[in-house]
């Protein structure tokens, strides 16, 4: 009798703990969407965890925020004449794909790794290749709603956005080869890119400087492995304590041969820094549009229109200035890095620079 009572109390206690832990964990999970663009914008309210700014999303509302003309720098074309910009981009992409001397940087197999990156919206016949740190959570929410599992963006629980077993936004890899081929050849396909070096800085800051607590593997597994191989002087005893330096990260990224084995060990986490070519196979898959993070204000509405869904959804408001390329920041991060290491890094990423029309960073190379 007493024994049974004790068990019941123990069980109750355990449940309490689980609840507490869940509450704690959910606090951190909500950070993900907030920092989806890869930058913290200081005290601006939309980045403050728990504010509803991001969630007051206009999916299923036909009213789109139309910025006043005065909000737009005069050099930036408006949405209506954005089509030529996108066409030029796609022409460049196809030209660079044909350049044989870049072949091993631009051509990749449509492997399971690539099919894992691509999400399927069957209702509207859309494929979306996920590239971290360019506002992807927003696109995923839009597509989840379009697929019909949730009526509005607000009603998607934060922890379900990235749970593709449950959120009704399957990965292309979960379909049969015939289903995959059919969708690749008939659906609207897109992804978003940004300046390759700024992207690497953003990944470094997010994964190794901030060290999010819900992603302990970056600090505890990946950083020590990179330091051990690429930092000249280190003591094994303080590997965990000394954080990854940007210099270590650059050396690892630029080491085309040495990286292979490490990358296999790191698993899916490498999506934050492997090339866009490796993530989305843009020379193998004929994408309809490649959006640029730097011009997301123009690209997002254009993509919705081109995909034929602009009457159903609109992209959540983009915090001003958050997508702008910041050369000062890039110079700061690379100021302590040797020319040799920068050139190696560029050699590894120049496929991405050229495919998507980003100017080579000569101010770092020469
Ligand atoms: C191919 O790419 C290389 C390396 O960037 C460049 O030097 C060359 O001019 C390109 N060739 C063509 C035909 O565009
Ligand atoms: C690509 O090929 C060039 C030679 O054409 C070679 O120097 C370079 O290391 C290769 N890059 C990768 C990532 O294999
Ligand atoms: C650019 O980056 C630098 C250094 O990180 C920062 O001080 C500056 O505020 C940034 N500029 C803009 C316009 O965000």
Residue 14 is predicted with a pLDDT of 60
The Cβ of residue 9 has, within 10 Å, a number of other Cβ atoms equal to 9
Residue 129 is predicted with a pLDDT of 97
331-340: long-range contacts, CB 8 A cutoff, minimum separation 24: 331/363, 331/364, 333/201, 333/204, 333/246, 334/197, 334/250, 334/364, 336/246, 336/247, 337/246, 337/247, 337/250, 339/365
Q: pLDDT digits over 122-174, tens only?
A: 999 999 999 988 888 889 999 998 988 888 888 888 888 888 778 889 999 99
Choose which residue among 198, 328, 331, 332 to substitute to test ligand 3 binding: the one with the highest number of ligand atoms within 8 A of its C-beta. Answer: 328
CA of 111 to the centre of ligand 2 (A): 20
% pLDDT > 90, the chain = 55
Q: Which of 13-17, 65-69, 122-126 ranks highest by mean pLDDT?
A: 122-126
Mean pLDDT, range 57-79, rounded to an integer: 43
Residue 3 is predicted with a pLDDT of 59
Concatenated DSSP letters for 232-267?
Answer: SS--GGGTTTSPPPHHHHHHHHH-HHHHHHHHHHHG
pLDDT above 80: residue 68? no
CA of 362 to the centre of ligand 3 (A): 20
Q: Residue 345 CA: which ligand is closest? A: 2
Which of 71-75, 215-219, 334-338 is least confident? 71-75
Give every strand in the sheet of 289-292, ordered side by side: 118-121, 126-129, 188-193, 289-292
For residue 221, the 8-state DSSP code is I
Q: Beta strands 126-129 and 118-121: pairing type?
A: antiparallel
Under the banding of pLDDT at 50, 70 and 90, the label for residue 175 is very high
Residue with tokens 């506002």: 135
- Enter the pTM of the model: 0.80
Q: Please, is 329 exposed, middle or buried when counting C-beta atoms within 10 Å of its C-beta (0-12, 13-18, 19+)?
A: middle
Which of 65-74, 206-215, 231-240 is least confident? 65-74
């Amino acid at each position: 009798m007493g024994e049974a009572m004790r068990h019941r109390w123990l069980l109750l206690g355990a449940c309490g703990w689980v609840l507490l832990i869940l509450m704690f964990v959910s606090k951190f999970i909500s950070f993900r969407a907030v920092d989806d663009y890869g930058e913290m914008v200081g005290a601006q309210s939309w980045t403050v965890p728990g504010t509803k700014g991001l969630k007051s999303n206009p999916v299923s509302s036909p009213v789109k925020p139309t910025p006043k003309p005065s909000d737009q720098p005069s050099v930036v074309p408006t949405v209506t004449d954005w089509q030529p910009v996108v066409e030029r981009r796609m022409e460049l992409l196809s030209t660079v794909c044909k350049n044989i001397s870049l072949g091993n940087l631009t051509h990749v197999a449509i492997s399971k790794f690539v099919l894992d990156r691509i999400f399927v919206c069957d209702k509207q016949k859309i494929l979306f290749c996920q590239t971290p740190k360019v506002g992807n959570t927003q696109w995923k929410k839009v597509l989840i709603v379009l697929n019909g599992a949730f009526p509005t963006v607000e009603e998607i629980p934060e922890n379900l956005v990235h749970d593709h077993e449950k959120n009704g936004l399957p990965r292309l890899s979960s379909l049969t080869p015939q289903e995959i081929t059919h969708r690749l050849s008939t659906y609207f396909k897109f992804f978003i890119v940004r300046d390759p070096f700024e992207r690497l800085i953003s990944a470094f800051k997010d994964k190794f400087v901030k060290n999010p607590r819900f992603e302990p593997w970056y600090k505890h597994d990946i950083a020590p492995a990179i330091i051990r191989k690429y930092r000249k002087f280190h003591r094994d005893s303080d590997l965990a304590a000394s954080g990854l330096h940007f210099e270590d990260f650059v050396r690892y990224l630029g080491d085309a041969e040495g990286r292979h084995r490490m990358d296999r060990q790191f698993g899916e986490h490498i999506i934050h820094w492997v090339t866009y070519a490796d993530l989305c196979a843009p020379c193998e898959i004929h994408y309809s549009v490649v959006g640029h993070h730097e011009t997301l204000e123009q690209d997002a509405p254009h993509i919705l229109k081109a995909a034929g869904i602009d009457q159903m959804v609109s992209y959540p408001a983009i915090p001003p200035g958050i997508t702008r390329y910041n050369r000062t920041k890039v110079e700061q991060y690379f100021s302590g890095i040797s020319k040799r290491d920068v050139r190696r890094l560029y050699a590894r990423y120049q496929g991405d620079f050229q495919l998507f029309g980003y100017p080579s960073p000569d101010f770092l190379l020469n």
